[in-house]
Structure 1
Amino acid sequence: MATIRQRKNQDGSKTWQVQIRRKGHAPISRTFDSKKDAELWARGHERTMDLGEYKDLRVAQALTLSDALDRYVETRERGGKPLSAPSMRMVRKWQKHRLALVALANLTAADLASWRDERLAEGRSASTIRNEISHISNVFTLARTEWALGKIKNPVRDVNWPSTNGNGRDRRLAPGEEEKILEQCDTSVKSIWVKPMIILALETAARRGELLSVVWEDVDLEKREMRFRGTKNGDDRSIPLSTRAVEVLKGLPSADAKQGRVIDCKEVAFVQCWQRLQKQLCKKGIRDLRFHDLRHEATSRLIEKGLGVMEAAHVTGHRSLQMLKRYTHIRPQSLLDKIG
């Protein structure tokens, strides 16, 4: 049984100290302002000891979410399935959040619901939020199955996550929008990297992170080929380069040295420049445009140019026809010549 003692403090107030001593467990104690809270705490801890869960609880209380994420990354690497570059960015972003300092055993559904509301207020899409939280759910799954924390509860399951409703974005560039966007880059964007990033995104259907990560060693201008490593789905892929893409690459400031990153710009800096460009474009009547929409546009253009499904998937890196379909939005006008 737990021992509960009343103690009188120097200021005259009273507190209640709980001590629990059990064979096979280290002694623990805690002080409360009320006897009721002391009794509740004692009963809860004695129950976990009786059920054999106390060791799990103690380990989980000593392991912060940040440490657990490091262990998650290491576990994936040892298993031969390392996280992709975008997933690693999500993990590192989690480790900078205030919840990263919370012990795994103390992370609650309320904490995650608050985080969800923050991300929604920032304008993040349902799919982005679900992708980010999936890593936290994976941490708890590993904690239960491989880290000897079998009794720990996964709070991710107790939160209502925004639904994607199965509908992806279908934003495509209207006639004349591409010209206006590139013209705005020349007049109001200070960074020299934004315009080539936009053109390359339209010519390669690559993701933002892929373009920012590619190095010159993986570019062959003579063969008109570019290789992306550690993509979102974990695979490497090589894509053909259009003549327009080759010309853009040849004109980059980093092209002379042929070393380092092709786009010598940090992601944070690029995002800031893109956000400023978005505000300028809104004044020109171009609204609701995200950089990732350029990937949708490029994918749709590949199909409209006559590439087969497998050919287009080779360029975009989509593993399934269903995902390729979500990124393809063919304009009815492009089919007129074919149907006669």
Structure 2
Amino acid sequence: MAFYRVEPRVRADGTTRYKCTVRVKQKGKIVYSDYRTFTKNAAADAWGKQRVAELERSGLPNLSPSSTPLFELINKYLSDPHVQLGRTKKYVLEMLADSDLGRINISDIKPHHIVKHCKQRREAGAGPSTVSHDISYLRWALKMAKPSYGYESSELPVIESYPALHDQNLIGKSERRSRRPTSEEIEKLKVGLKLRMDQRASSGIPYIDLLEFSILSCMRIGEVCRIRWDDVDDEQKAVMVRDRKDPRKKSGNHMIVPLLGGSWEILQRQKKTDEKVFPYNERSVTAGFQRVRNDLGIIDLRYHDLRREGASRLFEKGYTIDEVAQVTGHRNINTLWQVYTELFPKRLHDKEKKQKHLESSNQS
């Protein structure tokens, strides 16, 4: 039996889209699924009715099986110049291609194969949020196979695996971090990074400047390593940060960011021997940081935590959430609000105490 359902989806920019999902059930199981997204509810409803009528009249489309293994499909994505892949997505796809799941034909992938893959990943030490990336990008790969390359493929096995994956805690959302390096840890890192610079002088990576600049500018290391001298605004003591991370857009998210608290001076003392201010591979920077961190025995500190440290320092100096967002680039200030409330959990009690004191003084 064919049926459809229209669901409103509110996007990050506040606009509403209407997703119409058409499915066919046989003996209690979903054997066919398709969907489209529309700007108006009426258009979504009309497409759903039309698609159901077509399925009732003509039956299921003849989907011939494909003997293409998953790794071959993934390699097509990786080598396709028109497919834009971020670092994380590329890494996950490469890992999927090298896994046991990658050797299975895309037409033969079943929910239990996916559950087995996730169990193996969890047993290897990956957390639920990390495994969620596997499933998200696997679903994308299977979903885009037909329109991209004509492979007969379906995301249905991924959809059907979700109940088991959630029930067994194999996938889940990432936990919000609140880790900040202590002043002692930062000083130890500087000493360790200075030693690494002396030992690897040929690399030329100014680890200490990068560490301090990352904290003071609140930038991600990838953003730091993309800054060009052409993007530096001497008059405003600011830089253009290109392609800042934004869940709503993949590219073109350029922002003017003021350099505060000494970050401007760090930038100015860099050598102008390249078009980039920090012409270094971000992976090399983070790898060096991690090596020093591990050698020092500093537990559970990631390079990305320096961004939170920078935002926390700005709050402690009295900057407002809107002002901090101008530096960090957060589109959703709820993230910064969580940082702020964790720093000052007593602020409402202090405000109430001050108000009572004023009322008491006025009555006197």
TM-score, normalising length: structure 1: 0.65
Query: 1:256 aligns to what?
Result: 272
Q: Secondary structure at the match of 2:66?
A: helix
Q: Is the 8 A contact 2:93 2:137 kept in 1?
A: no
Aligned to 1:105, the other structure's residue is in SS state coil
Task: Flag the 1:130–1:201 CA change in 2: closer, same or farther, 3 A.
Answer: farther
Distance 1:113 1:212 in 2: 38
Q: Does 1:229 align with 2:237?
A: no
**1: CA distance, partners of 2:291 / 2:214:** 18
CA separation of 1:153 and 1:126: change in aligned 2, threshold 3 A: closer
Listed as ranges, the matches of 1:261-272 within 5 Å are: 261-272=276-287
Pick one of 167, 174, 178 that aligns with 2:186: 178
- Which residue matches 2:289? 274
- The structure-2 alpha-carbon separation of the partners of 1:229 and 1:66, relative to structure 1 and needing over 3 Å to count, comes to same
1:322: Cα distance to partner?
Answer: 2.7
What is the 5 A alignment of 1:149-298?
152-157=154-159, 158=161, 160=165, 161-164=170-173, 167-189=175-197, 190=199, 192-233=205-246, 234=250, 235-252=253-270, 255-257=271-273, 259-282=274-297, 286-298=298-310
Note the alpha carbon deviations across 1:124-149, whole angstroms, 9 max, x for none: 55444434542332233334777766
Distance 1:238 1:162, change over 3 A: same
Task: Kindly report which structure 2 residues correspond to 1:46-125, keeping only aligned pairs within 5 A, or say none.
Answer: 52-55=61-64, 57-58=65-66, 64-67=72-75, 69-70=77-78, 74=82, 87-91=86-90, 94-95=93-94, 97-99=97-99, 103-109=105-111, 112-113=114-115, 116=118, 120=122, 125=127
Distance in structure 2 (CA, Å) of the matches to 1:221 and 1:118: 52
**Shift of the alpha carbon at 1:245?**
0.9
Aligned residues: 274
User: Is the CA contact (8 Å cut-off) linking 1:185 and 1:194 kept in structure 2?
Assistant: yes
Name the CA distance, whole Å, in 2 between partners of 1:312 and 1:131: 29
1:296–1:328: 8 Å Cα contact kept in structure 2? no
Verify the 8 A CA contact 1:227 1:237 in the aligned structure 2: yes
Deviations 1:205-262 (A, max 9, x none): 111222233333223345321222223323222211125112222233xx223x3333
Equivalent positions of 1:133-148 (< 5 A) are 133-143=135-145
**CA offsets 1:253-288 (integer angstroms, 9 cap, x no match):** xx223x333322223322331221111221xxx321
Unaligned runs of 5+ in 2: 1-58, 355-364
Q: State which of 313, 318, 337 in structure 2 corresponds to 1:301.
A: 313
For 2:276, the aligned partner's letter is R
Q: How many Å separate the matches in 2 of 1:267 and 1:111? A: 35
AA matched with 1:98? D
Given that residues 143 and 154 in structure 2 are in contact (C-alpha distance below 8 angstroms), is that contact kept between their aligned partners in structure 1? Answer: no
Q: Check the 8 A contact 1:204/1:241 in 2, yes or no.
A: yes
1:334 to 1:228, Cα distance in 2 relative to 1, 3 A: farther
Secondary structure in structure 1 of the residue aligned to 2:257? strand
Paired letter, 1:216: W
Kindly tell me: are residues 236 and 119 of structure 1, through their superposed partners in 2, closer, same or farther at Cα, counting changes over 3 Å?
farther
Q: CA deviation at 1:89?
A: 4.6
Task: Encode CA deviations 1:186-218: one digit per residue, 9 max, x unaligned.
Answer: 234545332222112111111122223333322
Is 311-320 or 64-73 further displaced after alignment?
Answer: 64-73
By how many angstroms is 1:104 displaced? 3.2
AA matched with 2:224: L
Distance 1:62 1:134 in 2: 15
CA contact (8 A) 1:63 1:104 kept: no
- Counterpart-to-counterpart distance in 1, 2:264 and 2:346: 26
Residue pair 1:127, 1:164 contacting (<8 A) in 2 also: yes
- Aligned-partner Cα distance in 1 for 2:114–2:256: 38
Matched residues in 2 for 1:298 and 1:62: separation? 42
User: Are residues 1:320 and 2:332 paired?
Assistant: yes
CA distance in 1, matches of 2:217, 2:223: 10
Confirm or deny: 8 A CA contact 1:203 1:298 kept in the other structure. yes
1:316–1:110 distance in 2 versus 1, CA, 3 Å: farther
Percentage of matched positions with identical amino acids:
23
- What is the TM-score normalised by the length of structure 2? 0.61
Query: What's 2:13 paired with?
Result: none
Greater RCO, 1 or 2 (C-alpha within 8 Å, sep 6+): 1
Aligned letter for 1:266?
N
CA 1:325–1:155 in 2, change beyond 3 Å: closer, same or farther?
A: farther
Residue identity opposite 1:290 in structure 2 = R
User: Cα 1:302–1:107, aligned 2, differ >3 Å: closer, same or farther?
Assistant: farther
Q: CA deviation at 1:328?
A: 4.8
